Amino acid sequence: MTNYFSKDFWWGASSSAFQVEGAWDEDGKGKTVADYNAFQKSDVQADTRVASDFYHNYKEDILLMKELGLKAYRFSISWARIIPDGDGEVNQKGIDFYNNVIDFLIENDIIPFVTLYHFDLPFALVEKYNGWESRDCAFAFERFARTCFEAFGDRVKHWQVHNEQNLMIRVNIRMNMYDVPSEQAEKVRAQMDYHMFLAHALATNACREMLPGVQIGPAVSSTMTYPSSNRPEDVWAARMNDNFKTNYALEMYCFGEYPGYYKEYLNKCDIYPETKPEDEEILKASKPDYIAVNYYRTLVASYLPADEAHPFGTKKNDIDFDLYGYFKIEKNPNLEVTDYGIQVDPTGLRLLLNDYYEKYRLPMIITENGLGTGDQLTEDGKIHDDYRIEYLENHIAACNDAISDGVELFGYCPWSVMDLLSSRQGFMKRYGLVYIDREDFDLKELRRIKKDSFYWYQDVIKNNGLN
C-alpha cells in the first residue's frame, strides 16, 4: 500500500475535560451540566468526581503521550473551571491548571489542540436562564472564549469551538431540557441550536480579532447514510438524514445561514428560532479554517411518509431519530456490529471525507474515531486489544485512501488517548490506548497501563502510517 501521509501529518489522540479530569469541584471549579447528569447516575456507574484523575496526574499522562510519540493532543477546557458560574468572575486557579498542561505539552513537543466546549455547560447558566435557550448564553460563551484566547493564545495556535453541536442538540440531558413540555421541545431545541451557532460565530470572530493567523473551526459528529434500496425516495431519504443530522450545521458554519431544506422544515413546523438583524453579519464572517470530523459508523435510511397519526416533522427517538416526511433509520445487514451496537464501516469514512471535501473545500482532521468495548486486564497485567488495533488500522487505511483521492486531511486523533468516563457506560466501556486501572465503584490505584494498541499506534507514528 502506498503511503500518502505527509511528513508533517498530525498523529494525535483526544479526550475531553469532564471525561478525564476529575476534581469536579476542586480549586474553585463550578458544577457543569455534565456533572449534574453524571451525579444522577452515581448509584449505577462512575461519575465525574474522579473520572481518570488527569487533574492530578497530567504530567504522568503527558509523558505517556510523549512516549507514544503524539504530535498533537486534542483536549477540552472546562468552561466552569475558568468561569465557575459561566459569566461571573474568572477563576485564576483554573487558568493556572490549563497553563501548566499547555506548557508541559509544549515542553514535550506535543501540539496543544484545544476545544472550548465539549458537553459541559456551567450549571449556573441553566439555573439562571436555561442555558442556550437564552441569547445571553451566546455572549457569556464569547466572554469565556476571549478569556481563553487571552490566557493561552500565545501558545495555542489551533482551536475548536464546539464539539459535536449537531449531536449534542439531539440529546435532551446534554441540552439541560429537563422540564421542557413535549409540545414545546422542538421549538426550544431549535432556539438553543441557533444560539449555539451564534456563540460559535462570536468566538470564531473574536479569535480572528485577538489571534491573527491561528486556526479555528468546529468538530462535527459526522453522518454518512446509505439508502435502503435504489428507489429514488430512499436515496432522497438517505441524503436528507445526512442533511438534518450534520450537513445543515456545516452549512451554517461555512456559509453563515441555514440551507433551504432546513429553513423549509423549521417554517413548516413553526419552530423557526428568533434571530436579530445584526446576526447575519456575525454568522457570515465566521467561516472556519478547517473541519474536524468525529467518525464512528454509518447509517441506512428509507423514506418515511407523514400520515394522520404522525404529521410532517414528527420525530421518533433521539440520537438516530426518524423524521416523518423524510426518513426512517434501518439496520445494515452487511456490516459487523460492536458489543455496543455500533456498525463498523471504514469505507464509510473514505466516502464521507470525500463528500465533505467536495462540498466545503476545507482542510480536515479526524478528532474522534475509536472502538469502545470492555477491555480485560490479564493476570500478567496486560491488555491484549487486537480488536481495537484492527479497527484503527482499517480506519487509518481509509484515511490514506481518502488522501489518495485528493482529500486534504492533516491529522488523525483517535478517541481516546486513555480510558475515560463514558456518559452512558461509566468505565465498563473503554476506548483508550492507555488502560486506567479502576472500576466504576473501585478506584484502586488508578494505574496507567499501556495496552497492545499503545505499542501498535507508537509504530504507526514512527512509520508515519501503516507498513
C-alpha cell at 273: 428560532
Any idea which residue has 431519504 for its cell? 237
Say how far apart CA 94 and CA 84 lie, in whole Å: 9
C-alpha cell at 329: 433509520
The per-type count for the chain, helices as H runs and strands as E runs, is 16, 15
Distance of CA 246 to the CA centre of its chain: 12
Say how far apart CA 25 and CA 122 lie, in whole Å: 12
Task: Note if 368 is an active site residue.
Answer: yes
Residue type, 421: L
- Element holding 398 (H helix, E strand): helix 386-405
Q: Which of 142, 419, 389 is nearest to 286 (CA)?
A: 142
Residue type, 167: L
Say how far apart CA 291 and CA 363 lie, in whole Å: 6
Phi, psi of 299 (to 5 degrees): -130, 170
| Annotated active-site residue in 368, 390, 393, 445 | 368
Say how far apart CA 92 and CA 137 lie, in whole Å: 22
C-alpha cell at 70: 503524539
C-alpha cell at 426: 461509566
C-alpha cell at 447: 494505574
C-alpha cell at 10: 498530525
Measured N-to-C along each axis, helices 185-210 and 248-255 cross at an angle, to the nearest 10 degrees, of: 30
Say how far apart CA 240 and CA 16 lie, in whole Å: 30
Say how far apart CA 138 and CA 208 lie, in whole Å: 17
Say how far apart CA 248 and CA 310 lie, in whole Å: 23
DSSP 194-236: HHHHHHHHHHHHHHHHHSTT-EEEEEEE---EEESSS-HHHHH
| Annotated active-site residue in 133, 142, 164, 251 | 164
Helix, strand and coil in the chain, % to nearest 5: 40, 20, 40
C-alpha cell at 266: 423549521
Q: Give every CB contact of residue 2 below 8 A, 6+ residues apart in sequence.
A: 400, 404
C-alpha cell at 99: 497553563
Q: Are 337 and 382 in contact (CB under 8 A)?
A: no
Task: Note if 274 is an active site residue.
Answer: no
C-alpha cell at 366: 479526524
- Mind telling me the catalytic residues? 164, 368
